[in-house]
Structure 1
């Protein structure tokens, strides 16, 4: 990897020998494939700078759950990156689940982002614990993102 950038190691490879990876110099990042369980990382998160979660197709939503587990249950404070076929209208939902960076492979989405469009939405039907939100209206679960 480039100097100062995390080496990205597949999750199963890291879990097979985490201490060896911790001894290497430089920041450490992990690649999580769809369906891989991130809970075994609980005792290792302090030394990890980046978790890159793969989205091989826009219709595979398992990465959303992995990001929420990392942020809300495991307390991961490092970077969580969505990698792959991410669509414009998914980006705001991904942010709500804990993603804070994106490596977008979907060309129309890349063009829209380059043009300044974000796909942002303010009204949500379910609360999350990863971003600040306000109750909205009389429905107990309705939320409003700050402007």
Structure 2
């Protein structure tokens, strides 16, 4: 997962098409309207760290709508959320102001394996070991 500090200069969009999706958006309507056509990055907002609707949106984008581009978390993104974000389908995150980007890797080192499946590896641990 790519971690971006809040004070880092944002990447230039260039030819990359980005779509910002609000938390209350109906993804089915967006997909049906063709809003995801040609989009390379979707930005999902965390207005508060307690608002988890973006997790569900990322999971739906990956599993149901087969979005293969970058899903970026923005807003009130804390280090504690990064591992779950990654498991939900996020590929990049812009940390909240004041959050140390260097400490983010420690979270990934601390939690490196999981029993249940996720977007990255849908099979649970017992199925992976049996294979």
Instruction: Give the TM-score normalised by the residue count of structure 2.
Output: 0.72
Question: Aligned in 2, Cα 1:111/1:27: closer, same or farther, shift over 3 Å?
Answer: closer
Q: How does 1:1-147 map to 2 (within 5 A)?
A: 5=13, 26-42=15-31, 43-110=34-101, 112-113=103-104, 116-119=105-108, 120-121=110-111, 122-124=113-115, 126-128=116-118, 130-132=119-121, 135-136=124-125
Distance, in Å, in 2 between the alignment partners of 1:106 and 1:93 is: 20
Shift of the alpha carbon at 1:35? 2.0
Deviations 1:94-120 (A, max 9, x none): 11111000111142353523xx42345
Give the Cα–Cα distance (whole angstroms) in 1 for the partners of residues 89 and 11 of structure 2.
Answer: 26
- Consecutive unaligned residues in structure 2, runs of 5 or more: 1-9
Unaligned runs of 5+ in 1: 7-25
State the superposition RMSD in angstroms: 2.8
User: Larger C-alpha radius of gyration, 1 or 2?
Assistant: 1
Kept after mapping to 2: 8 A contact 1:33/1:54: yes
Q: Which has the higher strand share?
A: 1
Q: CA deviation at 1:132?
A: 1.7
Moved over 6 A (4+): none
Measure, in 2, the Cα distance between the counterparts of 1:48 and 1:32. Answer: 12
TM-score (norm 1): 0.65
Counting matched residue pairs gives 116
Q: Is the 8 A contact 1:52 1:82 kept in 2?
A: yes
SS of residue in 2 equivalent to 1:51: strand
